[in-house]
């Protein structure tokens, strides 16, 4: 049963990350003044993607906590890789929330950031994903 729980956790983690990768890319295009004619379409796309992304994050968390309940020993002091992974996952949820705040800013037509800023913002989930996967698979410390 544990492997099924883990598989569902990974499947919805992929769903979540698809949104974390693509939503900020939509912000890049939404922040470009030459795309003004598409701003209303971007608002719809951003809202729908955020909903899907949030479902992925929620199910990822539920099955992650389920795995943790079945393997509570990961919370012991000697599993530093797991503590680091949990800290990064908290960072991913903070990034998720930041995406929400930015979506609201665009919805209210109050964006003040450039498309270049959003290009940099878009890189964070890639870096976090690399480190989280290394921690979960390699367990380096």
Tell me the binding residues for heme: 9, 85
Tokens 């992650």 sit on residue: 64
Q: Which amino acids are annotated as binding site, given as ranges?
A: 9, 85
Give the C-alpha separation, 46 to 40, whole Å. 10
Q: Supply angle C-alpha 132, 82, 135, rounded to 5.
A: 35
Residues 6+ apart with CB under 8 A from 33: none
């Amino acid at each position: 049963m544990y492997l099924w729980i883990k598989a569902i956790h990974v499947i919805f983690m992929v769903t979540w990350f698809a949104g974390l990768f693509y939503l900020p890319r939509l912000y890049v295009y939404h922040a470009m003044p030459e795309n003004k004619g598409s701003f209303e379409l971007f608002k719809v796309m951003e809202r729908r993607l955020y909903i899907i992304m949030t479902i992925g994050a929620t199910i990822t968390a539920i099955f992650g906590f389920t795995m943790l309940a079945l393997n509570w020993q990961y919370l012991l002091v000697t599993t530093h890789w797991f503590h680091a992974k949990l800290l990064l996952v908290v960072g991913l949820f903070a990034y998720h929330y930041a995406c929400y705040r930015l979506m609201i800013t665009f919805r209210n037509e109050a964006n003040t950031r450039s498309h270049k800023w959003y290009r940099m913002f878009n890189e964070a989930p890639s870096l976090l994903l690399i480190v989280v996967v290394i921690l979960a698979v390699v367990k380096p410390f």
